[in-house]
């Protein structure tokens, strides 16, 4: 499942200057790519273009040579957006309710809840869960849409640093287990270095700069203090 953005340009309605201009980006099957950059450089816009929520003015976005449409990728927005009137189990089953071709059984969903340590909460409502738990539920909901490409928009942005570390380790373990392609937005450079294969820096002049993270896989929390990561982070900090 190779995701390709070719010459993509997008301008917000009633704006003169495009927020995305002639963007070219290829994400390989199973790759973990992070998008970083200042606010307003169009990180979230790129994800919305890939989901099909926004239509590019020019250029093409395709997955395995097929142009993307709504329902082709898994999208996890910044806010968890759990439905407060649905139980946790029903929340993660929503994708299967919408698309009949998604065959997720209740047993299957339950086993996933167990895997993320939420099996006691399957009949709970979102307002009974902590921030980290809600984020895990939101991620499961995205995962259970059974898409190969997952777009995660700052999923851990609102979490405290300890919960965030747990969630990062948890995300890495799941990603390693399933052969998913992930495009990840973050403001946290350390997080970007720790998680990604490749980091795409979006600059204010609408150009992009790629950095490959030279850390081996699998990754461990100790690597957060490794020389490579610290150097890389410093370098990115200067560029951003």
- For position 170 contacting another protein by CB under 8 A, the verdict is no
Q: Rounded to the nearest whole angstrom, what is the least distance from the CB of residue 117 to another protein in the complex?
A: 20
Pairing of β 58-63 and β 66-67: antiparallel
- For position 59 contacting another protein by CB under 8 A, the verdict is no
Binding region for another protein (CB under 8 A) out of 19-27, 95-103, 109-117, 156-164: 95-103
* CB-CB neighbours of 218 under 10 Å: 9
Residue 63 and residue 72 in contact, taking contact as beta carbons nearer than 8 Å: yes
136, with CB counted inside 10 A (0-12, 13-18, 19+), is: buried
224, with CB counted inside 10 A (0-12, 13-18, 19+), is: middle
- For position 41 contacting another protein by CB under 8 A, the verdict is no
- For position 146 contacting another protein by CB under 8 A, the verdict is no
Among 85, 103, 218, 227, binds another protein (CB under 8 A): 85
Tokens encoding 181: 């392609």
Among 97, 120, 160, 210, binds another protein (CB under 8 A): 97
Tokens encoding 7: 């010459």
Residue 177 DSSP class: H
Residue 96 and residue 102 in contact, taking contact as beta carbons nearer than 8 Å: yes
Among 1, 4, 94, 208, binds another protein (CB under 8 A): 94
- For position 48 contacting another protein by CB under 8 A, the verdict is yes
Q: Rounded to the nearest whole angstrom, what is the least distance from the CB of residue 93 to another protein in the complex?
A: 11
Binding mask of the shown chain, residues 214 to 233, with x at each position contacting another protein by CB under 8 A: --------------------
Q: Rounded to the nearest whole angstrom, what is the least distance from the CB of residue 75 to another protein in the complex?
A: 4
Among 28, 128, 130, 173, binds another protein (CB under 8 A): 128
Buried b (16+ CB within 10 A) or exposed e, 19-41: bbbebebebeebbbbbbbbeeeb
User: Among residues 219, 139, 225, which one has the least CA distance to residue 176?
Assistant: 219
The 3-state DSSP class for residue 74 equals: strand
Among 53, 178, 228, 230, binds another protein (CB under 8 A): 53
Residue 17 CA to chain centroid, in angstroms? 26
- For position 155 contacting another protein by CB under 8 A, the verdict is no
- For position 12 contacting another protein by CB under 8 A, the verdict is no
Q: Rounded to the nearest whole angstrom, what is the least distance from the CB of residue 50 to another protein in the complex?
A: 10
Contact residues: another protein, CB under 8 A = 48, 51-53, 69-73, 75, 77, 79, 81, 83-86, 94-95, 97-99, 124-125, 127-128, 145
């Amino acid at each position: 499942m190779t995701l390709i953005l070719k010459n993509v340009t997008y301008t917000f309605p009633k704006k003169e200057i495009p927020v995305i201009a002639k963007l070219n980006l290829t994400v390989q099957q199973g790759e973990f790519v992070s998008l970083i950059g200042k606010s307003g450089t169009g990180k979230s816009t790129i994800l919305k273009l890939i989901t099909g929520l926004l239509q590019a003015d020019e250029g093409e976005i395709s997955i395995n040579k097929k142009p993307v449409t709504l329902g082709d990728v898994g999208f996890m927005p910044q806010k968890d957006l759990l439905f407060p009137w649905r139980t946790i189990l029903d929340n993660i089953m929503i994708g299967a309710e919408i698309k009949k071709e998604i065959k997720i059984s209740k047993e299957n969903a339950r086993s996933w809840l167990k895997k993320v340590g939420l099996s006691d909460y399957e009949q709970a409502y979102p307002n009974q869960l902590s921030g980290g738990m809600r984020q895990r539920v939101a991620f499961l909901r995205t995962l259970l849409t059974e898409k190969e490409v997952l777009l995660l928009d700052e999923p851990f942005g609102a979490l405290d640093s300890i919960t965030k570390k747990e969630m990062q380790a948890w995300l890495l373990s799941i990603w390693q287990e399933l052969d998913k392609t992930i495009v990840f937005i973050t403001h946290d450079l350390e997080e970007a270095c720790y998680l990604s294969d490749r980091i795409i820096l979006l600059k204010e002049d609408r150009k992009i700069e790629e950095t490959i993270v030279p850390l081996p896989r699998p990754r461990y929390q100790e690597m957060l203090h490794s020389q490579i990561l610290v150097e890389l982070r410093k370098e990115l900090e200067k560029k951003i």
